[in-house]
Amino acid sequence: MKLTALPALDDNYIWHLAAPDGRWLVVDPGDAGPVLAVAGGSLAPEAILLTHHHGDHVAGVAELRRRWPWVPVYGPADPRIAGIVDHPVGDGDRLQAGPWAFDVLAVPGHTASHVAFHGQGLLFCGDTLFSLGCGRLFEGTPREMLGAMDRLSALPAATLVCCGHEYTLANAAFARVVDPDNAALRRRHEEAIAMRHAAQPTVPSTLAQELACNPFLRIDAPAVRTALAAREPAAGHDRPDAFAALRRWKDGFRA
């Protein structure tokens, strides 16, 4: 299979997954243009997968459905996209799209109904887990987002993390302040700089890379806790409190 990150909008990625026989699917098409361009005169997609309701992840669906009105759209059971999703899914569901099977994981935090799709060694995680970061808590709580991080951390280390935005360099700048002596993080940052200079996406990363480098997956690491304690002494004991402090720090961070 061939996995491609299609740049869209300001810094979004739409994920395009293709099989050798020409079958394909698309994840989080916030803009139809890049999808139609790569599709050309090919077959209709096997499915459209949506991780959450935000417009930069769903706005292209209407145009894609005008071209291919029969294509199933899988996404969270959320009234805000009830008119877009015709196959609502929730935690524990399993869907089959052409040759691919995916397990649905509830990962609330960025939004209340956010889901991720895991299968074929891939994790389509929208705006929950980013390369070297995590999503802002627009609707969920720190405890919920920490639960999502813990759940994703338990997936196989070789899993490819297919997130929704090109945020790696900005996230790396913050992560290196939190965890300045992390050699794996330094190497990942240097690699990402080279990739962006070459106009290449920095994603997907692997879950192993994220476990080694991403401070939001390393909330229990001594270096991360030490940095948090120096900034907010009261945040060092309870895991959700520590995670909330880390997210607050990132929200106000300027490189």
Q: Which residue is catalytic, options 16, 53, 110, 189?
A: 110
110 is catalytic: yes
List Cβ neighbours of 158 (8 Å cut-off, separation of 6 or more). Answer: 121, 206, 207, 208
**Backbone phi, psi, residue 168, to 5°:** -60, -45
Please indicate whether residue 179 is annotated as part of the active site.
no
16 is annotated as an active-site residue: no
Strands 160-163 and 122-126: parallel
Please, are residues 127 and 164 in contact by the beta-carbon 8 Å criterion?
Answer: yes
Exactly one of 16, 53, 57, 114 is catalytic; name it: 57
Q: Concatenated DSSP letters for 8-55?
A: ETTTEEEEEEE-TTS-EEEE--S-HHHHHHHHTT-PPPS-EE-S---H
- The active-site residue, picked from 53, 127, 179, 189, is 127
Active site annotation includes 52:
yes
The answer to whether the CB of 82 falls within 8 A of the CB of 73 is no
Nearest Cα neighbor of 75 from 121, 119, 28, 122 is: 28
Please answer whether residues 49 and 28 qualify as being in contact, where contact means their C-beta atoms are separated by less than 8 angstroms: yes
The catalytic residue among 16, 53, 118, 165 is 165
**Is 127 known to be catalytic?**
yes
Of the residues 56, 114, 118, 189, only one is catalytic, namely 56
User: Which residue out of 16, 54, 114, 118 is catalytically annotated?
Assistant: 54
Q: What residues are paired with 122 via a beta bridge?
A: 119, 160
**Catalytically annotated residue among 16, 28, 31, 52:** 52
Residues marked as catalytic: 52, 54, 56-57, 110, 127, 165
